[in-house]
Amino acid sequence: MITEILKSLIIRDLNKLRSEIELYHSEYNIWHIEKNIANSAGNLCLHLIGNLNAYIGAVLGNTNYVRNRPMEFSMKDVPRAELIRMIDETIITVDESLSKVSDRDLNTEYPLLVFEHKTSTGYFLMHLATHLTYHLGQINYHRRLLDIPEE
């Protein structure tokens, strides 16, 4: 039951990520950085896609995804349609991968050492869900702050 809840929350927020990217009036603004804003919405989107495909898809779903974290922050001007395609593929990966995880599996040790200490799979999935929500909020704020429609 907990795994299904986590899966539904992550998929819900990935759908919201798609909506946020679609809501930009200007595709240019997806990649716009201003003043002390360190990351564009596009780079945060790529980061979330890479993060979930690596830690859920590759580790728990055995998808063979290979993450390139530096690229998530260095790539620029990926077309909106491509970002949306990548989000949709990530939704499928999360759904299929977490369908393989039982509630009993949540108490087992997560296979990778990501933090200073080992964690349970359940703890790490909670971390991934909150990490997604954190950056989703940043993207929402970025859009409302920097994507002002022309009159």
pLDDT tens figures, 14-47: 999 999 999 999 999 999 998 888 899 999 999 9
Per-residue model confidence (pLDDT) at position 151: 64
Closest CA to 58 of 15, 95, 31, 93: 93
Q: CATH assignment of 2-146, given 1.10.3080.10, 3.40.50.410, 3.40.50.300, 1.20.120.450? A: 1.20.120.450
Per-residue model confidence (pLDDT) at position 147: 86
C-beta atoms surrounding 131 within 10 Å: 15
Length of the chain: 151
Q: Which residue has the tokens 């780079």?
A: 43
Structure tokens at 144: 């409302």
The Cα 116–Cα 137 span in angstroms is 26
The amino acid that residue 32 corresponds to is: H
Residue ranges of domains in the chain: 2-146
